[in-house]
């Protein structure tokens, strides 16, 4: 199968549990109070298929890079982590992208879901 010149997108999902509050929302807003989520993080990578292996990146390599970062967040209060003082899903997605990109150069975007019905996707401008 000739895939030369084409790009393939792969994704891998991770989960962690953490607490947070949103200090920027008005008093009385439910998100101003400390609460928690089971977050889902989906990292997406895009690139050409390796000519012999037939993949973009080994999923094991993706886990090797992402797992330690997820462990930093798991069962912590996100507000206490530098750069996440206002830990909206949008800010968390961008924070994760910046942390992962040096070791995953084919990283295309990061999606963070706080609930099954809400998510934020961070991708840099082209």
d(CA 56, CA 117): 29
Catalytic residues: 31, 75, 114
The tokens of 94 are what?
């961008």
Contact between residue 84 and residue 39 where contact means Cβ atoms under 8 Å apart: no
Burial class from Cβ neighbours inside 10 Å (0-12, 13-18, 19+) for residue 78 reads buried
Q: Is the four-CA dihedral 78, 82, 85, 89 of positive or negative sign? A: negative
């Amino acid at each position: 199968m000739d895939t030369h010149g084409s790009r393939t997108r792969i994704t891998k999902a991770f989960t962690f549990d953490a607490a947070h509050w949103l200090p920027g929302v008005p008093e009385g807003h439910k998100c101003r109070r400390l609460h928690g989520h089971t977050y889902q993080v989906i990292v997406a990578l895009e690139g050409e298929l390796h000519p012999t292996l037939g993949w973009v990146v080994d999923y094991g390599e993706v886990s090797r890079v992402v797992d330690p970062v997820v462990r930093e967040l798991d069962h912590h209060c996100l507000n206490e982590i530098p750069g996440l003082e206002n830990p909206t899903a949008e800010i968390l997605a961008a924070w994760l992208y910046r942390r992962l990109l040096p070791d995953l150069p084919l990283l295309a975007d990061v999606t963070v879901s706080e609930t099954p019905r809400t998510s934020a996707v961070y991708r840099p401008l082209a």
